[in-house]
Amino acid sequence: MNLNFYKSLIENNKEWVQSKLDGDPEFFKKLEKGQQPPLLWIGCSDSRVPANEIIGGQPGEVFVHRNIANMVVHSDMNMLSVLDYAVNVLKIKHIIVCGHYGCGGVKAALGSKSYGLADNWIRHIRDVYRQHQDSLGTIKDESELFDRFVEFNTMEQVYNLAKTSIVQNAWERGQNLYLHGWVYGVGTGIVKDLNVNFECNSQLEEFYKLGVV
């Protein structure tokens, strides 16, 4: 068994620790006192999309939840638990849902291939296509279709966030909470602001407004 890669991880950690201490001898002592991040990042699990690095964030500045295709699924207790803790305990101010061009989950949803257990997750992405099929169905170029589907999927997840009781309750209490949708270009490193933003219950359609408590 070749353990060189595994061993290199341990050595990389030591070098990283030293680099942080060289810049600030109290770096880890400060982190030890707790976290007060202003941002929750809901992104894709793709290894090419590192939340902190993309925005130049430091440890302690970004609370992160990641899954295949940056989905906000209302039955996903993992996502809801992260959201609840971020909003109600950490009192974060901003939530960014960040998709990325070239997303494997979105690409899988464009095809009919079965991926086993993952099919159940990909179905939620296909639901987004169904919601926007009138627009997506007119796009003939495969690459353009893929990119636009990524954008629509990210936008829908921001809407899904706004529909949750966690977010609506926060707004009802007068808590400052802002939702945003971005798409990251893996080939450029640049984020695209999709200009889909929410900051209060009044921006939701009446159908989705809850009788919050």
Catalytic residues: 44, 46, 48, 100, 103
Where do the DSSP E strands lie in 101-210?
178-184, 191-193
The one-letter code for the residue type at 160 is N
Question: Are residues 44 and 69 in contact, defined by beta-carbon separation less than 8 angstroms?
Answer: yes
Provide the pairing of β-strand 39-44 with 62-67: parallel
Strand arrangement, sheet containing 191-193: 62-67, 39-44, 94-100, 178-184, 191-193
**Tokens found for residue 45:** 């699990």
**Tokens found for residue 182:** 């971005």
